Amino acid sequence: MNLILMGAPGAGKGTQSAKISEKYQIPAIATGDILRAERKAGTELGKEAQAYIEAGKLVPDAVVIGIIKKYMVENNCENGFILDGFPRSIPQAEALEAMGIKIDAVLSIEVPDQKIVDRMSGRRVCSCGASYHVVYNPPVKADVCDKCGEALYIRADDAAETVKNRLKTFHNETEPLKEFYSKKGLLISVEGQEEVADTTALVFKALSAVEA
Ligand code: ADP
Ligand code: ZN
């Protein structure tokens, strides 16, 4: 299954993509995680991306398209994949089409803006890619990753002011993709729930319809 996961920043894409990845045994490719890893490694690409990320803007299309091309080749995508956070603009979606990659479904997790702001303030992440929320999805031990035992941290771009800009960017540049994919009959919308498990149940239900 070749899947695109869409949603506002903090809608729970990363959390749900981990669940889907486990169930369907397909890799998740998260452009945000890749960009942060590049930053941590101190690469040119990472440095270039950082300014955009901290301003709540999109990293230029050419940069992320280049990343996706590379990762699609490196990861074993034969049984499918989940794209988490890509495409995020119409030009990125067109580039994906130009790569000749067939998409089976585009899952959009819907969460109202007020809830996003609330969620971001409690988000804690790990460099392994795991993501938590102090109230809605807490780790077993506070501030420690369940998966790898490393210390959790707050993302720099989760600052309230940056979150506002990220939401603006989402509505202006990413949300038009809903119509783009809806016209192709690929869009499935799922309402994000308070509990992670409840959203996962809705996501799995929606995906079982795709398989059939
Ligand atoms: P979220 O979905 O919570 O905003 P991500 O980790 O997916 O978090 O993305 C963090 C930031 O990385 C984005 O705000 C943006 O600056 C950059 N980024 C990630 N994916 C893309 C993309 N496909 N195109 C442009 N910028 C991207
Ligand atoms: Zn971890």
Residue-wise pLDDT for 180-207, tens only, equals 999 999 999 999 998 889 999 999 999 9
pLDDT over 80 (residue 77)? yes
Look at residue 96 in the predicted model and tell me its pLDDT: 94
Where residue 79 falls among pLDDT bands split at 50, 70, 90?
A: confident
pLDDT over 80 (residue 212)? no
153 token code pair? 């941290």
- Find where tokens 């067109």 sit: 94
pTM of the model: 0.89
Ligand 1 neighbourhood includes 35 CB (under 6 angstroms): yes
Residue 11 DSSP class: S
Look at residue 26 in the predicted model and tell me its pLDDT: 94
Look at residue 92 in the predicted model and tell me its pLDDT: 97
Mutate to test the pocket of ligand 1, among 166, 168, 173 (most ligand atoms within 8 A of CB): 166
Where residue 138 falls among pLDDT bands split at 50, 70, 90?
A: very high
Sign of CA dihedral 185, 191, 197, 201: negative
Segment 81-85 shows an average pLDDT of 96
- Give distance in angstroms: CA of 206 to centre of ligand 1: 24
pLDDT over 90 (residue 27)? yes
pLDDT top residue among 157 and 78? 157
Segment 81-90 shows an average pLDDT of 96
Residues recognised as catalytic: 13, 88, 123, 155, 166
- Give distance in angstroms: CA of 125 to centre of ligand 2: 8
With 0-12 / 13-18 / 19 or more C-beta atoms within 10 angstroms meaning exposed / middle / buried, residue 151 is exposed
Q: What percentage of residues in the chain have a pLDDT greater than 90? A: 80
Segment 9-36 shows an average pLDDT of 93
Task: Please provide the average confidence, as pLDDT, over all residues in the chain.
Answer: 93
Ligand 1 neighbourhood includes 85 CB (under 6 angstroms): yes
Q: Which atom of ligand 1 is nearest to the CA of 35?
A: 12
Ligand sitting nearest the alpha carbon of 129: 2
Helix (H) or strand (E) holding 131: strand 131-133
pLDDT over 80 (residue 61)? yes
Where residue 211 falls among pLDDT bands split at 50, 70, 90?
A: low
Ligand 1 neighbourhood includes 177 CB (under 6 angstroms): no
